[in-house]
Amino acid sequence: MTDRIERHASVILFVVLAIALILRLWSIDFGLPYAYHIDERSYVVGALNLGQGEINGYPQQVGLVNVLFGEYAAYFVVGRLIGLFASTQDFARSYYVDPTLFYLLGRLTSAVLGVVSCWTVYLLGAELRNRVTGLVAAMLVAVNFLHVRESHFTTPDVPQALGLTVVLLLCLKALKSGRMRSLYIASFFGGIVIAWKWASLPLILPLIFVACQIDKGLRFQEILQRWVFCGLLTLLGFVVFSPQLLLFPAPYIEWAKRDYITASVGGYGGFLIDTVPGWLFYLNASYIGAGVLGLGMSLAGLLLWTYRLLWRRDRQAVVFLLLFAGYFVLMARSQRYFVRYAVPMVPILALAAADAFNWLREHLEMGNRWRLSAVLVAIPLIATVQPMLKAPRANILWSQEDTRTIAKQWIEQNIPDGAKIATDWMVHGVPLSTPDVPSPISSRIYQVTEVNGLGLYDHSIEFYRAEGFDYLITSSYISDLDLVDHDQENARDTFYRSLDTNCILLQEFRPYDGNVEPSFVFDGIYGPLTALWQYDRPGPTLKLYEVDRNR
């Protein structure tokens, strides 16, 4: 059975990659032309600002911004050649008219690199053990719900996972061949990955380990020289891929300080993401992605690597465990909890699961060939059932019209031009056009005040009456989120409930049927994540109130 799989490995890999591509391209245009993922807009606008000469206009991790800038530059050149754009002003104007293609380019980047991740995991598994291990690992990544979900977004997490996998592959090749060339390439590429996302810093741990293992007979001075050279290559990769930090370091350092402080106190802008310890949060995130059996196999693989490290001094196990443990501890110690931060662990966990499966295959009783064949086929397939059910379901939901789009259509049909409206965060509310900020495909223009912070709760009902607001729009993506301050949370709940008695509820737009609202978690603001079968479409519950000035 194993020999047959080895012989047909290329065909099986092609099928796995095709499945990965379908799951990631399906519904990739969700929500467009409206940007309902709050982080996507930051990267897209940052790249466009870079094109206008604002080099330090996006003081965060700039790897994705720089890649998008390159893609947009190519789009402009092609558009200029075929007469689509007469000038850079035309190009910029096209974004405000319909930004669909700008977001699709970023999403396609994540989707394609997500599929490439499956291929590199296959290569890594084949390098570690054999093609069967590589195929099982690639299949587990291909259908992993968390990996599929994040591959739909213009965010750096899926490409980061690919980068870490490539570094591991190069480290493994350097360890097995004893050649420094692979390690030097890994060091330079590692700098690029760190520039892509600073949380990739733990990748220096396997780099240092491999540098120590090659040619152990060298004197300490020679080893130190190799460390320094690898470090310089890493720094070079970092600078080449993020030159903004070299040109204007101050705003990026300031952003890093603010981000560290926010992560250390918990929550995000006053909102409470979760109350569990970090290690449990990311363990649960891994379960959401891989399912029960998939995560169980991964944990078994991690234990197997630990055993090989302690009792067999397996150097390959050290390479994987150093990166996994370093990244997991870094994330777990931070109180900034986002499930997408678990994405870089997906390939490593998939490889651990595949290695555990390979160990089981080698230790099965070989007397019954059919029993062995059944186990070889059944275990990986069963491990993919749970995520394979989730991923298509999320894509089906994404293919439905978002509640925010439905609300926009209703409002423009029933509310006159110029109405004064206050709303919870615009990205989590209705994309209405204003005189200063047009929204695509709009038939009316309104006076919209976006109340950020903690939402409409930041002001009283009396304030909205006194300021002459005609309507209020609430979003469950804001009103349903818990706050770090419990007293403030109770006061805010009271405020939102009071709208039913102090205002007139004109219309409600729900992503589910019936009166029982499905359970909601913080990361649901980005897209379908939990309670997938209880929702009928994406988006928050929106309530449109008319301000009654007589009450």
- Claim to verify: residue 415 and residue 330 sit in the same structural domain: no
Q: What is the distance between the alpha carbons of residues 411 and 432, in angstroms, rounded to a whole number?
A: 9
* H or E element in which residue 470 lies: none
Cβ proximity of 405 and 509 under 8 Å: no
Within-domain flag for 94: no
Number of neighbours of residue 276 by Cβ within 10 angstroms: 12
Amino acid identity of residue 36, one-letter, is Y
Co-location of 118 and 19 in the same domain: yes
For the chain, how many structural domains are there in total? 2
Residue 39 sits in the same domain as residue 128: yes
> What pLDDT shows up at residue 333?
84
Among 357, 379, 398, the domain boundary falls at 398
Residue 178 belongs to some domain of the structure: yes
Mean pLDDT by groups of 10 residues along the chain of 551 residues = 66 94 96 91 87 65 87 92 87 89 95 97 93 93 96 95 96 89 93 91 92 75 81 91 79 71 60 82 93 92 94 91 94 84 96 91 63 68 86 95 96 94 89 90 92 87 92 93 83 91 93 87 89 94 88 61
Contact (Cβ atoms closer than 8 angstroms) between residue 454 and residue 442: no
Domain-located, residue 61 = yes
| 148 and 258, same domain (yes or no) | yes
Q: Which two tokens stand for residue 409?
A: 């259509």
462 shares a domain with 345: no
Contacts 24+ apart (CB under 8 A), 279-285: 279/328, 279/332, 281/332, 281/337, 282/328, 282/331, 282/332, 282/337, 282/341, 282/342, 282/345, 285/146, 285/339, 285/341, 285/342
pLDDT for the residue 201 = 92
pLDDT in the model for residue 372: 62
Tell me how far the alpha carbon of residue 263 is from its chain's centroid: 18
| Consecutive H or E run containing 422 | strand 420-424
Which range of residues forms the domain containing residue 365? 2-66+103-398
Backbone angles phi, psi at 444, to 5 degrees: -140, 160
Q: Are residues 340 and 436 in the same domain?
A: no
Give tens-digit pLDDT for 333-372. 877 789 999 999 999 999 999 999 888 877 765 555 666 6
How would you classify the pairing of strands 447-451 and 420-424?
A: parallel
Strand locations in 342-392, DSSP E? none
544 has which bridge partners? 473, 507
388 and 493 belong to one structural domain:
no
Q: Is residue 98 part of a domain?
A: no
Q: Give the model's pLDDT for residue 225.
A: 81
- 287 class by beta-carbon count within 10 Å (0-12 exposed, 13-18 middle, 19+ buried): middle
Question: Would you state the structure tokens that stand for residue 105, as one six-digit string?
Answer: 């380019």
Residues 292 and 439 in one domain: no
Q: In this structure, are 294 and 419 located in the same domain?
A: no
User: pLDDT at position 382, please?
Assistant: 82
Which of the listed residues 398, 423, 446 is the one where a domain comes to its end? 398
Phi-psi domain of 266 (left: phi exceeds 0; alpha: psi -120 through 50; beta: other): left
Residues 356 and 209 in one domain: yes
* Residue 73 within any structural domain of the chain: no
How far apart CA 420 and CA 458 sit, in angstroms, is 17
Could you tell me if 369 and 409 lie in one domain?
A: no
pLDDT for res 157: 94
Which run of H or of E encompasses 547? strand 542-547
From 347, 369, 398, the end of a domain falls on 398
Six-digit token pair at 307? 């055993």
Question: Considering the domain boundaries, does residue 231 fall inside one?
Answer: yes
Residue 205 lies in a domain: yes
Residues 383 and 470 in one domain: no
Query: What pLDDT does residue 242 have?
Result: 84
Helix (H) / strand (E) element for 405: namely helix 403-414
In angstroms, the CA 491 to CA 495 distance is: 6
Q: Is 93 within the bounds of a domain?
A: no
